[in-house]
Amino acid sequence: MELSLEKTIIVYNPEIDGAKELSQKLCCSFENSCAFSLDEMPDSASFVIVVGGDGTLLKCARKYSQTDAVLFGFNMGRLGFLAQAMPNEIEKVVNKIKSGDFRIEKRTMLKSPTTGAIALNDMVIRGATYSRTSTLNLYINDIKLCSYLADGLIISTPTGSTAYALSAGGPIISPNLECFVIVPICPHTLNARPIVVPTSEHIKITTSEAPKDFQMTSDGQDACIVKNEVCIEKHSRYSKLLLLNNDCCHFYDILREKLHWGIAPNK
């Protein structure tokens, strides 16, 4: 998959110290590029360099989901599963990008036909009353699977399996797989377990409780209220992420580094 640098932009999170300064340095490295704050993103771009954290990159992914823009992130946040390069790696990053020493991965996204909302990581469904549990009925292709008495449900992509879904007890899924994972949040039963389904499945969630309202959040950022039922399915578009060909940039390397897997406890 080719990368066009013809319309390169740098998007930075103005709430993060040093993000604006780093974006200005990046502008000097890419000819005719411009820097924009997170709230001033233009409608189109060919290559988007994101300066912030994973949350900043998720917002950019939703913004440019209808285009063929490729995204790359500099991590100035915490874990950085998506935004992987560090601020002190500008020279190495620029050289690798300009020499073509990278790969581009297509990441599955979610879409709700009910609201038009989209997400790269996950969609979280909760009942109308945020402070208490709700009975949520899960349908797969209009076939009722189960009813959960829980704080909510997480519908996650493989990319989002290392985010909220992981904290709620869901499995880690390789981003190369075409599937979704459905994870109940604090279910009031021991036999409620996460389930992995193909992306071809149509997911519907209803409730028998009054009022029949839902709170739906996309990527932990965009929230809305929905009545009666919520439908979720695979988005027709993919998010495209640029990954450098480093020695330790594979998904499993990132898991080991970020989650500290395989490290013996201190004596």
Using left for φ > 0, alpha for ψ between -120 and 50, and beta otherwise, residue 249 falls in alpha
CATH number of 110-234: 2.60.200.30
CA distance 177 to 74: 25
Query: Which contiguous run of DSSP H or E holds residue 131?
Result: none
Which segment of 81-85, 91-95, 149-153, 175-179 scores lowest on mean pLDDT? 81-85
Note the pLDDT tens digit of each residue in 202-214. 999 998 777 778 8
* Higher-pLDDT residue of 49, 262: 49
**Annotation marks residue 142 as catalytic:** no
Strand pairing of 102-107 and 239-244?
antiparallel
* φ/ψ (deg, to 5) at 251: -50, -40
Tell me, what's the pLDDT at 265?
60
Catalytic residue among 54, 122, 151, 219: 54
Highest mean pLDDT among 69-83, 110-124, 208-222: 110-124
Asked whether the predicted pLDDT for residue 133 surpasses 90, the reply is no
4 Cβ partners below 8 Å, 6+ apart?
46, 47
Q: What is the pTM of this model?
A: 0.92
Mean pLDDT of the chain: 91
What are the residue ranges spanned by the domains of the chain? 8-108+238-259, 110-234
Q: What is the mean pLDDT of residues 249-262?
A: 74
Q: Which CATH architecture has domain 8-108+238-259?
A: 3-Layer(aba) Sandwich (3.40)
Half-sphere exposure of residue 226, counting CA atoms within 13 Å on the CB side? 28
Q: How far is Cα 228 from Cα 212, in angstroms, rounded to an integer? A: 5
pLDDT of residue 264: 64
The pair phi, psi for residue 173, each rounded to 5°, is: -120, 135
Terminal Cα distance for the chain, rounded: 47
- pLDDT band at residue 123, thresholds of 50, 70 and 90? very high
